[in-house]
Chains A and B, each alone.
Chain A
Amino acid sequence: MIRTKNLHIGYAKELLAVDDLSLDKGELYFLIGRNGSGKSTFLKTLIGETPPINGEVLLNGNHISHLTYKEIPKTVAFVTTHFPLTDYLTAEEYVRLARTPYTGHFGRTSSKDQDLIDQAFDILNIQDLKQRFTSELSDGEKQMVSIAKAIAQETAIIILDEPTAFLDYTNKQRVVDLLKNISKTMGKCIIMSSHDIDMSIAAECPFLAVNSIEKKIRQVLSPTSKEEIINLAFKE
Chain B
Amino acid sequence: MVLALLLPLFCLLHLYVGQIPISFSDYWSSFSNFDATSSNHIIAREIRIPRLFMALIAGAGLSIVGLLMQTLFNNPLAGPYVLGINSGSSLFVALSIMTGIPFFASELGLITNALLGAFLFGLLILFFSRLVKTQISLLLIGLMLGSFISAFVAFLQSASNAQELKVFTLWALGSLQKVEFSQLPIIIGITIVGILGAFLLVKPLNALVLGENESKLLGVNIKTTRLWIIVITAILTGLVTAFCGPIAFVGLAVPNLVRILFRTQQHFILISASALLGAIFILLCDVIIQLTEPFFMLPINVLTSIIGAPMVIFFILNRLR
Contacts and interface: CB of A to CB of B under 8 A. Distances in A.
Nearest to B259: A88
B185 interface: no
Nearest to A68: B219
A80 interface: yes
Interface string A75-108: 0001010001011110001100110110101110
Contacts of A106: 202-203, 268
User: Which of A69, A72, A94, A103 has its CB near the most chain B CB atoms (within 10 A)?
Assistant: A69
Interface residues of A, number: 27
B265 A105 contact: no
Q: How large is the interface on B (under 10, 10 to 19, 20 to 34, 35 or more residues)?
A: 20 to 34
Contacts of B209: 84, 86, 89, 97
Interface stretch (B29-37, B61-69, B85-93, B210-218): B210-218
Ranked 4 nearest A-B pairs via Cβ: A107-B203, A73-B219, A100-B218, A101-B219
Contacts, number: 65
A69 B219 contact: yes
Interface string B189-220: 00000000000101100110111011111111
Contact of A78 (B74, B217, B264): B217
A80 B216 contact: no
B263 interface: yes
B150 interface: no
A86 B265 contact: yes
A190 interface: no
Nearest to A89: B265
Contacts of B218: 73, 97-98, 100-101, 153
Interface of B: 74, 200, 202-203, 206-207, 209-211, 213-221, 259, 262-266, 268
Nearest to B262: A88
7 contacts: A84-B210, A87-B259, A93-B264, A97-B210, A100-B215, A100-B219, A105-B203
B217 A73 contact: yes
B217 A88 contact: no
A115 to B, nearest CB: 19
Interface in A52-80: 69-74, 78, 80
Contacts of A46: none
Given A74-B219, A100-B220, 19 more contacts: A69-B216, A69-B219, A71-B219, A72-B217, A73-B217, A78-B217, A84-B210, A87-B259, A87-B265, A88-B259, A88-B264, A93-B265, A93-B266, A97-B209, A97-B218, A98-B218, A101-B218, A103-B203, A106-B203
Contact of B213 (A80, A87, A89, A94): A80
A100 B219 CA distance: 7
Nearest to A108: B203
B211 A69 contact: no
A176 interface: no
Nearest to B206: A107
A47 interface: yes
Contacts of A72: 217, 219
Contacts of A97: 206-207, 209-210, 218
A100 B208 CA distance: 11
Contacts of B210: 84, 86, 94, 97
Nearest to A70: B219
Nearest to B199: A106
A47 B266 contact: no
B272 to A, nearest CB: 13
Nearest to B267: A107
Given A73-B217, A93-B264, A105 B206 contact: no
Contacts of A80: 213-214
Instruction: Name the residue in B74, B202, B203, B210 with the highest tally of chain A Cβ atoms < 10 Å from its Cβ.
Output: B210
Contacts of B264: 88, 93
